[in-house]
Amino acid sequence: MKRLALLFLVMFSVSGYAQNTINNYKYVLIPERFDFSREDNQYGLNTLAKMLVEEKGFTAYFDNTQLPQELAGNKCNALKAEVTQRKALFATNLTLVLKDCQGNIVFKSKEGKSREKEFNTSYNMALRDAFSSLKDEPYTYNGTTHTQAAGQTMPATPAPAAVAPTPAPAASAPAPAPVPATPAVKDAAGTLYAQAIANGYQLIDTSPKIVLTLLKTSVQDFFIAENGTLHGVVVKKNGDWYFEHYKDNQLVAEKLLIKF
């Protein structure tokens, strides 16, 4: 009898674990820095991970930003993204892991690989390769919500029954739209020449030296950009290119002359 009870308990546990899939989650939390990185958003990996997670259909947030109330009050409603690195000579090897709030692995990607010599390009290509496993995994959020205790799940709370409408309050003036930050604009230093790489471009000056690395996004004429010390975006405005980034808490827009 004890053996039968133990067998039933094991089968129930395995069944419950198997049901915990990515379809049970609407949100994914992205860290500002992965464990193997030496600085926040090194090589633009964390920004890239957030973009790729959102392309899959999740709603993603950096874990140190303000979260919506339903998530801030219960982070078990989100998966935590981790990227691990296996060190090897002449190659970058990265693996994506999605864990629940109890630390259980809900999804683990294949090992993404790149043999590019330039670090920024190699890490970005390896991460995109790892994310290709997630891209191939079917995903549709099924409305599941999660409890804080023991990692158990329960169905989403049904909508309350309809009640008689109450008189609407007098309309208030709409809140003013947020004012975009005004950057300090710098003139272009010289012509830069775009060299195509696997996931974007390298901007080269006449030295020749790599001045900026641009990574493609899903938005036309909008790139994630970095030069080793600064991280920002390169965007086209009114026919001109600008590298926008923050320096000493001030938004700076450097005008670029780019020849593609």
pLDDT of residue 149: 53
Domain membership of residue 251 (yes or no) is yes
pLDDT at 99: 96
| Domain C-terminal end among 139, 154, 169 | 154
115 three-class SS: coil
Q: Which amino acid is at 119?
A: F
Same domain for 133 and 248, yes or no, is no
3 domain-assigned: no
CB crowding 51-77: b at 16 or more within 10 Å, else e? bbbeeeebebbbeeeebeeebeeebbb
Q: Are 215 and 225 in contact (CB under 8 A)?
A: yes
* Residues 130 and 193 placed together within one structural domain of the fold: no
Whether residue 36 is found in the same domain as residue 135: yes
Claim to verify: residue 146 and residue 206 sit in the same structural domain: no
Whether residue 45 is found in the same domain as residue 134? yes
Asked whether residue 11 is assigned to any structural domain, the reply reads: no
Q: Are residues 35 and 121 in the same domain?
A: yes
Q: Does residue 170 sit within a domain?
A: no
Q: Residue 88 forms beta bridges with which residues?
A: 91
Residue 147 sits in the same domain as residue 31: yes
Same domain, 48 and 135: yes
Distances, alpha carbon 201 to alpha carbons 180, 188, 195, 228, in Å: 28, 18, 5, 15
- Does residue 76 lie in a domain region? yes
Owning domain of residue 243: 184-259
154, 172, 206: which is the final residue of a domain? Answer: 154
Q: Are 104 and 151 in contact (CB under 8 A)?
A: yes
Same domain, 130 and 76: yes
Q: Is residue 2 part of a domain?
A: no
Is 50 within the bounds of a domain? yes
Cα 141 from Cα 58, distance rounded (Å) = 8
* 119 and 196 part of one domain: no
Task: Give me the pLDDT at residue 103, please.
Answer: 94
98 & 146 share domain = yes
Tens-binned pLDDT, residue by residue, of the chain (260 aa): 556 554 454 454 444 444 789 999 999 999 999 999 999 999 999 999 999 999 999 999 998 888 888 898 899 999 999 999 998 888 999 999 999 999 999 999 999 999 998 888 999 999 999 999 999 999 999 988 887 654 445 445 444 555 566 666 666 666 665 556 677 888 877 888 888 888 889 888 888 788 899 999 888 899 999 887 888 899 998 889 999 988 877 888 999 999 88
217 within some domain: yes
Q: How many domains does the chain have?
A: 2
Residue 149 sits in the same domain as residue 36: yes
